[in-house]
Amino acid sequence: MTAVAASIPPQWYLLLATAVFCIGLFGVLTRNDALYFLMSVELMMNAANINFVAFALYYGDLTGQVFALFVIALAAAEVAIGIGIILVLYRNFGVTDVTVPTEMRW
């Protein structure tokens, strides 16, 4: 398994990560629903994770993998908070559309 993974040149991992990140970014920029937002952000974070793991493999260094673990833990926390925010949003505005609440603008 490791050998297979290591035999793939790192560019491909980078390409994959870029693709996932861009998908996530596209989601954030185009969707208005907060839940989609959350999912898209998750995608972008995991794109970073792919990079971490890929480079860890490439350099034979475990630090990247440790970082990926941290990010996953962080993402879990983020989802918890994010969903909390969305719930409050829904309670206050009746929608999960992020363009509706504009209380914090000038």
Partner 1 sequence: MIDVFSYVPAIVLLPFFSFLVALGVGKHLPKGGAFGGIAATAGSFLLSLWVLATVAGGEAANRTLYTWADAGGIGPTDIELSFGILIDPLSALMLVIVTLVALLVHVFSLGYMNDEGETGLPRYYAGLGLFSASMLGFVVADNLLMAFMFFELVGLCSYLLIGFHFREPGPPSAAKKAFLVTRFGDYFFLIGVVAVLATFGTAQFAGEGSFPALAEAALNGSGSVAWTPGGVELQTWLTVVGLLVLGGVVGKSAQFPLHTWLPDAMEGPTPVSALIHAATMVAAGVYLVARMYGFYALSPTALAIIAFIGGFTALFAATMGLVKDELKQVLAYSTISQYGYMMLALGAGGYVAAVFHLTTHAFFKALLFLGAGAVIIAMHHNEDMWDMGGLKSKMPVTYYTFLAGSLALAGIFPFAGFWSKDEILYEALVHGLNDPLLLGGYLMGLLAVPVTAFYTFRMVFLTFHGEPRSATARDPEPVRWNVKGPLTVLGVLAVVTGFINMVPVQKVLGVEGIDLLHLWLDNHWGGIDGLSSHHYADIGPYSSGYLVGGEVGTVLVGAAVSLGLALGGLLVAWRLYNVPSPTEHTAKLGGIKDVLYNNYYLDELQVWLAYRTEDVAGGANTFDQGIIDGVVNGVSSVSLFGGSRVRRLQSGVVSQYATLLTLGLVALLLALGVSGGWFL
105 binds partner 1 (CB under 8 A): yes
Q: Let me know how long the chain is.
A: 106
**28 versus 57: smaller Cβ distance to partner 1:** 28
Residues 6+ apart with CB under 8 A from 5: 57
Site for partner 1 in 66-95 (CB under 8 A): none
Task: Name the CA dihedral angle for 47, 102, 81, 77, rounded to a multiple of 10 degrees.
Answer: 20
| Distance in Å, CB of 20 to partner 1, minimum | 16
| Binding range to partner 1, per CB under 8 A, among 23-31, 46-54, 55-63, 71-79 | 23-31
- Nearest one of 79, 24, 78 to 46, comparing CA atoms: 24
Out of 25, 39, 71, 86, point to the residue binding partner 1 (CB under 8 A): 25
Among 17, 37, 38, 64, binds partner 1 (CB under 8 A): 37
Q: Distances in Å between the alpha carbon of 45 and those of 20, 24, 57?
A: 9, 9, 19
DSSP 8-state code for residue 33: B
Question: Which parts of this chain interact with partner 1 (CB under 8 A)?
Answer: 25, 28-29, 32, 37, 98-99, 101-106
